[in-house]
Amino acid sequence: MLTKLRSFTRESGALMHLSIPIIFTQIATQAMGFVDTTMAGQVSPADLAAIALGTSLWIPVLLLLRGIIMALTPVVAYHRGARNFNNISIEFFQMVWLAILASILLIIYLASAKPILEWIGVASEIIPIASNYALALAFGVPGIALFYTLNGFCEGMNNTKVPMIISVVGLLVNIPVNYVLIYGKFGFPEMGAVGCGWATSLVYWLMSGMLYSYIKGHHHYKTIISFSDVKPRLKEMLHLLKLGLPIGMNIAVCGSIFSVIALMIGRIGAENIAAAQIALNISSMTYVIPMSISFGITIRVGHALGEKDELGAIERSQIGILVAGLISSLSVAVFLLFPEWIIRLYTTDPAISATAATLLALTAMYQFSDALQTSANGALRGYKDTKVPMFLAIASYWGLALPLGMVLGLTDHIVPAMGEKGFWVGILTGLTIAATLMLLRLHYIMKMRSLQPA
């Protein structure tokens, strides 16, 4: 028992030492959306609704991009564990090429926001603001893609502090630039919610430039990254895409269901959109904690496997999942104890506040399941098992959570239409099933590897 406690203390300490900077990095990145939402909400309900809809289009593709590039982290961690530094340079530049290609596709998608919103049937007065907000974000896609690639390299090298510092700097810059562009200060036109998009894009480019400058000047990294490896290599690119696309699909499926729900609620009314956006926005802020811990688990497991330490990989997976589950209880407590304080950050409208309070209570109920499925997924990424978890996520979210939410929220088939609350019941059910399936898959992978000859 004492030995297990020591192992837990040692590994949880190492994991959190690695994960805490990632948490701050993700919080700083997510906080840009929080700042956009709160500042635009002070302009008008239409601007707040436009941010909600524009974000609903942006977040799924951002998560897809993040997930594809995330494949670089376990690959670099594995090569670092095996002391194979030459392959790190090759894999890095191939991911840069993939990031460029993905950016082009995502820019085209965001530039098509207006017809997409019209096809969905969003209220006409919101469409111009939301589509222009998405167009402004498109300018920053290559910037954030480069930042994610550089960040993936740093994370794989066990360096999570510098990306954290740069992300915090980006957030601090984002706030005043938001203010200037939203309200038209210092000679700039007053752009409202659209100004948030331009501010965020500019900050993305700033962050990527800062991280590139750091890596270029680092005494060790500049000996690893060799521009002689910059030539595109189709085989390596396809390998990274094969590994990263399921990760991206997995993360995008998880995040996009919330965006689709926001779009569905958009048919009900502006007040309903605003209330749902509050719950979704604060939930996405707290989600970065288990998500960041899952990144840490991926690095720890990948490093152990690179060193051929199978038992160490198992221990790191199990302890990481336990840590994520324990920490999720903090989010539950915050949602249940301080709902009024949270909602007041967004709005003082009594109708919106009442609905948002109910949604926050339901959000608290799925925090533990979300932490378990996310951390188990992180361990599976460390094992480079990405395809099956992707299908499990699709089945849980799109095959169960969304259809159940639509039935409960928009129809009277099972119970009288519950509105936005019905979608939250669907989310809770889907996340619980996803957690169960991911844990079973991880157990299966560990068992299969233990049966393989050394």
Whether the predicted pLDDT of 439 surpasses 80: yes
Residue 437: pLDDT band with limits 50, 70, 90? very high
Q: How many Cα atoms occupy the beta-carbon half-sphere of 241 within 13 Å?
A: 14
pLDDT of residue 122: 65
Question: What totals of helices (H) and strands (E) does the chain contain, helices first?
Answer: 19, 0
DSSP state for residue 401 in the 8-state scheme: I
Whether the predicted pLDDT of 418 surpasses 80: no
Cα separation of the two ends of the chain: 29
pLDDT of residue 213: 92
Structure tokens at 151: 């960040």
> Which has the higher per-residue pLDDT, 273 or 398?
398
Q: What Rg do the C-alpha atoms of the chain give, in angstroms?
A: 22
Rounded to whole angstroms, the Cα distance separating 168 from 325 reads: 26
Domain positions in the chain are 2-451
Nearest alpha carbon to residue 138 among 174, 105, 117, 107: 107
Structure tokens at 221: 């990294």
Question: Cα–chain-centroid distance for residue 193?
Answer: 22
Mean per-residue pLDDT over the chain, rounded: 83
Angle at 100 between CA 98 and CA 102, to 5 degrees: 70
pLDDT digits (tens, 9 = 90+) for 22-54: 888 877 877 777 777 777 666 666 777 777 777
pLDDT digits (tens, 9 = 90+) for 243-252: 888 888 877 7
Percent of the chain past pLDDT 90, that is, above it, reads 17
Q: What's the pTM?
A: 0.75
Rounded to whole angstroms, the Cα distance separating 100 from 111 reads: 17
DSSP state for residue 400 in the 8-state scheme: I
Mean pLDDT of 145-155: 91
pLDDT of residue 322: 92
Rounded to whole angstroms, the Cα distance separating 385 from 415 reads: 39
Structure tokens at 250: 């997995």
pLDDT of residue 123: 66
The one-letter code for the residue type at 235 is: K
Mean pLDDT of 412-431: 82
Distant-in-sequence, close-in-space partners of 17: CB < 8 Å, separation ≥ 6: none
C-beta contacts of 213-219 below 8 A and 24+ residues apart: 214/162, 214/166, 215/150, 215/153, 215/154
Distant-in-sequence, close-in-space partners of 60: CB < 8 Å, separation ≥ 6: 252, 255, 256, 259
Instruction: Calculate the CA dihedral of residues 263, 269, 271, 274 and round it to 10 degrees.
Output: 10
The one-letter code for the residue type at 336 is: L
DSSP state for residue 416 in the 8-state scheme: S
Structure tokens at 140: 């920053």
User: Do 32 and 170 contact (CB within 8 A), yes or no?
Assistant: yes
Rounded to whole angstroms, the Cα distance separating 41 from 43 reads: 5
